[in-house]
Structure 1
Amino acid sequence: MVPITTISGDEYAFVPAALPPSEGALDPKLWPLVTKATGEVLRLDGIGRTLPSPTLLLRPLQRREALRSSRIEGTVVSPEQLLLYEALDGFESEPKGRQEQDWLEVFAYYKALRAGFRIYRRDGARLDRETMKTLHRILMDTSPRGRDKRPGHFRGVQNHVVGEAGRFTPPPVADLDGCLVNLEEFLAGEHDPGGLLGQALVRAYVAHYQFEAIHPFEDGNGRVGRLLLALTTTAWLNLSKPWLYMSEFFDENRSQYIERLFRVSTHGEWSEWIEFCLEGTKQQAEAAIRTCDALWKVRAHYLATAGSMSPRMHQIITMLFSNPILSIPDIQRRCDVHYVTAKGDVDKLVEIGVLTEVGRSRPRAFAASELLRVAYIS
């Protein structure tokens, strides 16, 4: 703890100890859970490698991550709202009210998530301070609520976190650079002690705690921290695609998530924090495998239902796995056909039970209800 002076008077800020934690910080009893959780993620990756199109599973997982990570911060949007907003290109215009701002805020996370993986894969970029700032810039620039929060820049003022675990005051600005340099070195593997602390998942959750404790931005720290977590687990486990996302587990166990983070700071409870995260990893990997199996069955059912219809109908069914809500102009544009042809295709898919009309939007929107349920709601 270091003394600081704020407008409220004298108080203390928390400066986390440099990484890595000491050798005795983790209980050796965690080894079986590390092995099990890692094995489940690698099993998920193996299944993902067999998919004819990774989009089948990736898009639902990534949108669910965006929805849940935003929900942790208090922004609640339903899957149907987000998908409809995307399908009708709502994000291309300025939001008109609070609800549209919520939709755009969730979409901003989804956009930052996908951009982060593209940048990492394309440039072979290090997971460093520039990566953090890039994720923050995309996240905050996309949503009008974040544009006045210095997108892409570390904070120049003291901030505070007030939540269920109490009031937490992150490092003062004077200590910020040193904390971030140490975290960057840890992300680069310059402080790999081996053993439990050298395991990919353990390292990722240690780094996630450290980022949250540093709280380097004026706003958006929780979301950027979870974006960075998705990147580190994918990179360090050498996954073929980014299959693992933790926000759903963190949201469903929000009080424990906050408490476990807080108690690393107050009591040095690294083992309890890592155990919590590993249990969540196992659960999320198993859930993703079940979702993949269910999606595969829905796809087979849709294609069988379409039967001997035109190849374009099969193309439209494939499109639904990118977004299970679409419009007639969307089909018209993506299949390069006239409006009347696209409308006829939609009418046929409604007739055979693949699509149903949703909402009262203009243009009209149609949803693959069974796909929507399996991918986003169940």
Structure 2
Amino acid sequence: MTERYEPPFSMTENMMNMVIEIGELTGQITAHNQLSTNPRLRRENRIKTIHSSLAIEDNTLSLGQVTAVIEGKKVLAPPQDIREVKNAYEAYERLQNLDPYSLDDLLEAHRYMMSGLIKEAGVFRSKNAGVYSGTELIHAGSPANYVPELMQSLFTWMKNSQIHLLIKSCIFHYEFEFIHPFADGNGRTGRLWHSLLLQRWQPFFAWLPVETMIHEHQEAYYEAINASNTAGECTIFVEFMLGMIKSTLEEIVTSQS
């Protein structure tokens, strides 16, 4: 099963065009080199990334409060929300030392992200789980007993696939959320790993707040996931995420002009 696994999706002309456009934008950003050389800009973008990814998961802290927590200042806020920020900061700070094709490193990242928040931090869930909107079940994750094999298959596909890393990272993002391998923290860990994969293509993605663009289009983000669930393949979600990456890069290019 592991060797034959292929995530279902269709390569479209729109995808290919966006990959070309994203490549051109990355060239312009690399030429300016501001993201790699400006410590203040890198720090600001890292904080924006953490704030946005946690806000998608209903963390109540403002951008200013997230900044204060990271700077070690006292913040009047729910202790769990503060812990989420500290955990996410540690996870992102350690990200460059992790191998995007190592399942053990993924578990380690989840442990950083969810330590002190859930009992099963750093291990695959032992029970079935799903995504809810209030009391309504939106998506049922894969049965718990299948999760280790499915995740191993996904990582084996990632290692072996010759598809462009931009598209591969988006496919991973969707497949990860579809499997829903952890008891909690799937969204923030999936976005973290997507960022790590993008860094393997262009290192400056370490400082690029794609999560901020997702947060600004959160409803569309979930709609793209649900539409792909209904379609039985991730084409819609891949195109959506490529659009988010492209829009983020366009903002960076505009700010550098």
Whether the TM-score (by the shorter chain) exceeds 0.5 is: yes
CA distance in 2, matches of 1:182, 1:88: 40
Larger Rg computed on CA atoms: 1
Structure 2 portions without partners, runs of 5+: none
Return the offset for 1:199.
Answer: 1.6
Partner of residue 204 from structure 1, selected from 166, 169, 172: 169
What is aligned with 1:131? Answer: 105
Asked if structure 2 preserves the Cα contact closer than 8 Å seen for 1:33 and 1:279, the reply is yes
1:149 aligns with 2:128: no
Asked if structure 2 preserves the Cα contact closer than 8 Å seen for 1:45 and 1:243, the reply is no
Q: Is the partner of 2:60 in helix, strand or coil?
A: coil
CA distance in 1, matches of 2:199, 2:28: 14
Partner of residue 190 from structure 2, selected from 225, 229, 237: 225
What is aligned with 1:262? Answer: 226
Q: Kindly provide the amino acid, as one letter, of the partner of residue 225 in structure 2.
A: L
- Which range is displaced more, 177-186 or 163-172? 163-172
1:183 aligns with 2:154: yes
What is aligned with 2:83? Answer: 104
Return the offset for 1:63.
Answer: 0.7
Return the offset for 1:218.
Answer: 0.5
What is aligned with 2:43? Answer: 59
- List per-residue Cα deviations over 1:252-308 (Å, max 9, x = no partner): 1111111111222221353322221111111111223445x49xxxxxxxxxxxxxx
Return the offset for 1:62.
Answer: 1.0
Aligned length: 253
Asked if structure 2 preserves the Cα contact closer than 8 Å seen for 1:45 and 1:239, the reply is no
Return the offset for 1:230.
Answer: 0.5
Return the offset for 1:240.
Answer: 5.0
Partner of residue 86 from structure 1, selected from 66, 70, 85: 70
Structure 1 pair 166/257, CA: closer, same or farther in 2 (3 Å)? Answer: farther
Asked if structure 2 preserves the Cα contact closer than 8 Å seen for 1:20 and 1:191, the reply is no
1:251 aligns with 2:235: no
CA distance in 2, matches of 1:210, 1:137: 20
CA distance in 2, matches of 1:167, 1:216: 16
Structure 1 pair 58/238, CA: closer, same or farther in 2 (3 Å)? Answer: same
TM-score using structure 1 length: 0.61
1:77 aligns with 2:51: no
1:171 aligns with 2:135: no
Structure 1 portions without partners, runs of 5+: 1-16, 193-197, 295-378
CA distance in 2, matches of 1:87, 1:174: 41
What is aligned with 1:359? Answer: none
